[in-house]
Structure 1
Amino acid sequence: MLVSKEEGLAFHGYDESQGSSDKGNFLELVQFLRDHNESFNEVLQTALKNCKLTHSEIQKDIVNAIASETSKAIIKDLDNGFFSILVDESRDISVKEQMSLVLRYVNKKGTIIEWFLGIVHVASITALSLKCAIECLLCEHNLSLLNLCGQGYDGASNMQGDINSLKTLILKENKSAFYVHCFAHQLQLTLVAVVKNHINFAEFFYVVSNLVTVVGGSCKRQDALRDAQFVKIKEDLKNGVSRSGQGLNQETNIKRSGDTCWGSYYGTILNLILMFSIVVDVLEIIEENSLSDQKVEARSIIRSILSFEKYFSEANIDLLLSMACLNSSNSFVAFDKEKLIRLAKFYPSDFLGTDILALDSQLQNYIFDMRSNNFFLELQGVSELAEKLVSTRKHETYPLVYLLVKLALTLPIATATVEKSFSAMKYIKNELRNRMEDLWMNDCLMVYIEKYVACSIDNETIMQRFQNMKTHRRQL
């Protein structure tokens, strides 16, 4: 059963009657075990006719038991610590709005963890409705918004607006629950703005868009394009222009561009724009050495890049710049004690007045220790630093510094894990399984997405959970 849910397979069959030739994956697996395992067959032979534990409702209860134990293991790993939430909503195949919630935290080993907590059907996507749904889901697992130290969304107005948005409503209850607009979406939107303001790029994507429309509207044209591409690849291989090998020269589909669609062909522009700062520098050089009409275009592109500062408040910019001082790269060259002390003041509930004084002393000893310790010289980034601090037990020597590191790592960066849960939802609830109940879908998603956690739970624990869910005719 667990294997079936791990792989996202359907449990139920269309006809589960005794004479059916296809009773569904669950009953067919049970029959396979009966045919090949004498002990298993003997149990079913002696079981009461109304107590074989194979009914569809029993199947749902067993999966619910697995999902509940999986969630319990995740909450246990969190260990009452602080966390951030990643939230997004999307419609499922039956046109029901579903809100997915992911927890982000640092575990006892100093590793960043993002676990799927659940998916909730929301009748309305207003900020207040989403907040109520989040609170209810957190309360189910004995979690509180007071332990929240970050919020991560994709930038929709109902979530990140300045007035009565989800971000604002949560900040009213917890001022340390800082919001970060998904970095991946910011990058995509900035790239799109740059592209649309550069005449050559804009014309290129206009042509590609028309090509997708013309070719995509006809199977005959698509076949002709495939044939032409096959001839070209064959000729290139013959002339040594292209190489052959696994994964090379594969047929791909051209996607229609979208401002926030990560898989659209705007993403190909990443090879041309590696860093915003480089782009600005190059464009400024162009402006200094170009004709008047080219200068106008350069200024337009620079404005497009700089306009995306609206996704960061002044406090958020200060917060992120302070967090950058924890970076361990190049022998902690970014270290700045004053900025790190300012970072601690963003979290008044975690750093009291006396803690700030103690942090000052710890930071002074910490940086001397780090720069003189060979174990910390080759680290790349804050995540490696956290793991190394735990493995060397330095997190006990510098507890306040480690608390800063944990807070920095817990702040959400991208909503990719939430997007992944929606991809799983389309696989679990598809056109052939479009009438799944909300609880049933949530349980299936929990086991499917967090299969590694589910596999770590022993059968005895799952059976005990199932047995305690309701009164059964016989004990397992």
Structure 2
Amino acid sequence: MLVANVVQENAPSNASYTSHEIQKEILYIFSNKVRKEICQEIGNSKFCTIVDEARDESKREHMALVLRYVDKEVCIRERKRNDELKEAQTIEVATKIANGELEIGRGLNQIGTLKRARDTRWGSHLDSISSLLKMFNATCVVLSNIAANGGDANFALNQLLSFEFVFTLHLMKDIMEITHLLCIALQRKSQDILNAMHLVSSTTKLLKNFRDSGWDDFLVKVKLFCEQHQIDIPDMNAQYIARRGRSRSHHNEISVEHYYQVDIFLATIDYQLQELHSRFNDHTVELLVLSTALDPRNGFMLFKIDDICKLAEKFYLNDFMEQEPVRLRIELQHFELDIPNHPELQELSGIHELCQGLVKTRKSVISPLIDRLIRLVLILPVSIATTERAFSIMKIIKTKLRNTIEDHFLNDCLTVYIEKEVVENLAVIQS
């Protein structure tokens, strides 16, 4: 009995859990509890599913899944399963350099330093590219020093000093400068949807103008940069020869200029235009614009009963019973006279605060259909940046030295790592 007591007292301090199987079982239990907790938190509430692709260190594609819903405290939640997105090689090179020795500018008499790519990647990529172009010579010096000291930097240096890399870098910078305002607008937590839609239109026009009339000036700018940094410029009239690993049949008897203009310049801009059109087609724009009729800012200035009824009937018809659209209009008529003058519902900054205010004042009980419609609008993923907002942790868990992690184990790791808040709450409840 005495031995048993001693063992039980010392067991917690002696337990090291070095067995991989035990570690995986514990991780599975925790991740399973996290998933169950999220399911319980959602309950019978409506939720939106956002899906994107993800790529791990071993180049395997994964599905990134985000659940967006309104919880019991009337807060918008986004639960993520995976969020590492495929990035262009030039950005990856720029990011690695930005995270390396140039961060402190060591050994160089330079005022600026390359900027680190942050978790919200749209804005930071533009900063990283602009910084890399500004400090191009300094970057080459650092890579040369690393290579001379035995470091594996020759490949990065050769890529950096190639015409194609410089061409691509300038193209990405120019495109990102055009789309920058739209990207910033879409990443704001409190979004001005009407102005964002106007930015979609102006961004599309600017990209088309750049596509149709920007080639000559762009090529001159790239050539000038190459001359300033002693980078070889290919003969644009020569026949293009595909590098090893690329399909040669497509590039038969085309000039170097044709390759850069058609296969890179025009193809990249066309892809951006197609993405804008697919994400913001007429159907989507109408949905977003109609939803602004519920925006409480500026004393419900945008409030329009007809637009709100059209929103419910056209886009959320399956969420309302046959007679409920008629009742919704009546609720809205009372809402228009009552809510804007309610002392506790003044100076609201967004639809989410309106939803919280209706619950707090119990107006959600009197106007359940309006409350239902507002919650449906709240889970609408109005920002195309939603899957980019989470800090990318795929490469933290699955590294080059640890690139054989099986899928189930990786998913459990990601679930626990991403949903730290849920894990901490579980730990508090258990204790």
**TM-score band, normalised by the shorter chain?**
0.5 to 0.7
TM-score (norm 1): 0.52
1:325-364 equivalences in 2 (<5 Å)? 325-345=293-313, 346-364=315-333
1:369-448 equivalences in 2 (<5 Å)? 369-419=338-388, 423-448=392-417
Cα RMSD for the two superposed structures: 4.6
> Which has the higher mean CA deviation after the structures are superposed, 452-461 or 89-98?
452-461
Query: 1:295-345 CA deviation, whole Å, 9 max, x = no partner?
Result: xx9xxxxxx999955643322222111100000001101000011001111
In the TM superposition, residue 443 of structure 1 has moved relative to its aligned partner by 0.8
Counterpart residue number, 2:290: 322
- Select the residue among 24, 38, 58 that pairs with 2:22: 58
Query: 1:334-382 CA deviation, whole Å, 9 max, x = no partner?
Result: 0000110011112121112200111011001112111120111110111
| AA at the equivalent of 1:96 | R
In the TM superposition, residue 65 of structure 1 has moved relative to its aligned partner by 0.5
Gaps of 5+ in 1: 1-37, 121-152, 155-183, 193-204, 224-255, 285-292, 298-303, 463-476
Kindly tell me: are residues 108 and 278 of structure 1, through their superposed partners in 2, closer, same or farther at Cα, counting changes over 3 Å?
closer
| AA at the equivalent of 2:328 | L
Counterpart residue number, 1:72: 36
| AA at the equivalent of 1:69 | K
Counterpart residue number, 2:139: 216
Give the Cα–Cα distance (whole angstroms) in 1 for the partners of residues 12 and 73 of structure 2.
45
Give the Cα–Cα distance (whole angstroms) in 2 for the partners of residues 278 and 313 of structure 1.
14
Kindly tell me: are residues 363 and 222 of structure 1, through their superposed partners in 2, closer, same or farther at Cα, counting changes over 3 Å?
farther
Identity level (%): 31
Q: Does the CA contact (< 8 Å) of 2:328 and 2:369 recur in 1?
A: yes
Gaps of 5+ in 2: 1-5, 87-119, 147-167, 186-194, 206-212, 218-269
SS in 2 for 1:456: helix
Give the Cα–Cα distance (whole angstroms) in 2 for the partners of residues 448 and 311 of structure 1.
30
Give the Cα–Cα distance (whole angstroms) in 1 for the partners of residues 62 and 73 of structure 2.
33
1:173-322 equivalences in 2 (<5 Å)? 214-219=137-142, 266=177, 270=181, 308=276, 311-322=279-290
Query: 1:87-145 CA deviation, whole Å, 9 max, x = no partner?
Result: 2112211121111101001112221110124689xxxxxxxxxxxxxxxxxxxxxxxxx
Kindly tell me: are residues 63 and 260 of structure 1, through their superposed partners in 2, closer, same or farther at Cα, counting changes over 3 Å?
farther
Q: Does the CA contact (< 8 Å) of 1:257 and 1:265 recur in 2?
A: no
Counterpart residue number, 1:450: 419
Q: Does 1:89 align with 2:53?
A: yes
Q: Does 1:365 align with 2:288?
A: no
Give the Cα–Cα distance (whole angstroms) in 1 for the partners of residues 41 and 130 of structure 2.
51
Number of residue pairs matched by the alignment: 294
Give the Cα–Cα distance (whole angstroms) in 2 for the partners of residues 42 and 207 of structure 1.
58
Query: 1:239-263 CA deviation, whole Å, 9 max, x = no partner?
Result: xxxxxxxxxxxxxxxxx859889xx
1:14-53 equivalences in 2 (<5 Å)? 42-43=10-11
TM-score (norm 2): 0.57
Kindly tell me: are residues 222 and 90 of structure 1, through their superposed partners in 2, closer, same or farther at Cα, counting changes over 3 Å?
farther
Q: Does 1:114 align with 2:78?
A: yes
Counterpart residue number, 1:135: none
> Which has the higher mean CA deviation after the structures are superposed, 70-79 or 410-419?
410-419
SS in 1 for 2:354: helix
Give the Cα–Cα distance (whole angstroms) in 1 for the partners of residues 145 and 383 of structure 2.
35
Q: Does the CA contact (< 8 Å) of 1:257 and 1:266 recur in 2?
A: no
